Amino acid sequence: MTTPFLKQLFPSKKEKQRCGNARPTRVPDGFTFSFIKKQWDTIGGDIFLAIKEFEKTGKIDRGSNSSFIILVPKITDPNTLDDFRPVSLTGCLYKIISKVLAKRASIIVNGSTTKELSLEKGIQQGDPFSLFLFILPAEGLNIALEEATNHCIFKSISLPNNGPTVSHLQYADDAIFLGEWPIQNVKNLIRILCCYELASILKVSITKRKLFGLGINNLEIELLSRSIQCFIGNLPFVYLGMHVGATISRISQWIGLIAKFQAKLSKWKPSMLLFVSRLTLCKAVLGSLGTFLFSLDNAPIKVLNNLEKIRRCFFWGGSSEKSKLAWIGWEKVLLKQENGGLSICSLKAYNLALLVK
């Protein structure tokens, strides 16, 4: 009696296994999919009867319809309710009924129902394989821009001192297109993106699309932005954590990195960690947070000193509010082990090494 129901819920053995791989979570009814999967021979019939009862009456037992509401912080150091995202934890029976209804769902258009939706399951969020799948359509855009540049359909820019020609920069789902200003050149770029959308079924986000003009009249920029339906961007702007169009040697451009160090420390309690744990975190985490920015330009001395101070206070078990006694000078701690130190790389040396590379 339960076999047709199982086939409806779990089209394959793989799908059935996937429902039980989730990490156990506290839910109102006390049962998880992992438990139900293991004990299906015992409780499967009861679950089937509960579903049939819902099909007849259209009602769910009050206990099965209960939910837990938990607050998940949106930021690392939440202070108000706006900094939390509410998440509802429902029981397994409620989820099973929802799955059955979703398989029979249809959309009502102008008072008439459409055909039933065919729902399919793709790659789960966070699956490492999804990164490689994204490279395929991203590479398609790269090839399209290169071909357009080679055939003078899109005119890119050339870097000074006989530098290379650059038409675009891509990182994950972000892209910056660099080209000459003529209006026809911009319109050709829009046509290339439209063709890319049709070929890849990916959409260019209109709300994130911005137009920047260097040395161009503001009125001309505004007119062109209206014709291609995008916003006007202003310099400097942040791209991949870097302030583009700003003087990176200014201390103000490194405030984000300092804030990132402090945000990491807000999650840890130095007094609750062993000395070895604090040493490992200083090396592996605090020592690598600035890798991207350190590879772009020389960090101001004041910024490096501030970051070293944050690492030093954490290493000795202190915090920004209360410091602890340091048993040895920080310069000696940074030395290699063969020289009497703990091999914590100096941020200044790390910065210079990345620039040389």
Instruction: Tell me the pLDDT tens digit for each residue of 316-342.
Output: 887 666 777 777 888 888 888 888 888
In this model, does residue 182 exceed pLDDT 80? yes
Query: Averaging pLDDT over each range in 55-69, 90-104, 151-165, which range is the top one?
Result: 151-165
Per-residue pLDDT, averaged over 129-157, amounts to 84
Per-residue pLDDT, averaged over 221-225, amounts to 88
pLDDT of residue 3: 44
Q: How far is CA 356 from the centre of its chain?
A: 30
In this model, does residue 110 exceed pLDDT 80? no
In this model, does residue 245 exceed pLDDT 70? yes
Instruction: Show the tokens assigned to 332.
Output: 């000696």
In this model, does residue 20 exceed pLDDT 60? no
Per-residue pLDDT, averaged over 84-112, amounts to 68
pLDDT of residue 87: 77
Residue 114 or 92, more confident: 92
The overall longest dimension of the chain from CA atoms, in Å, is 80
pLDDT of residue 228: 85
Q: Which residues, 6+ apart, have CB-to-CB distance to 85 below 8 Å?
A: 71, 72, 73, 74
Closest listed residue to residue 148, CA positions, set 194, 103, 94, 117: 194
pLDDT of residue 320: 65
pLDDT of residue 12: 46
Given pLDDT bands bounded at 50, 70 and 90, which one contains residue 131? low
Q: In this structure, what is the dihedral angle of CA atoms 134, 234, 306, 261, given to the nearest 10 degrees?
A: -30
Given pLDDT bands bounded at 50, 70 and 90, which one contains residue 51? confident
Cα R_g (the chain), whole angstroms: 28
Per-residue pLDDT, averaged over 86-100, amounts to 76
- Percent of the chain scoring above 90 in pLDDT: 3
Quote the pTM value: 0.49
Residue 211, CB-side half-sphere exposure with 13 Å CA sphere: 27
pLDDT of residue 165: 87
Given pLDDT bands bounded at 50, 70 and 90, which one contains residue 6? very low
pLDDT of residue 134: 74
- Percent of the chain scoring above 70 in pLDDT: 79
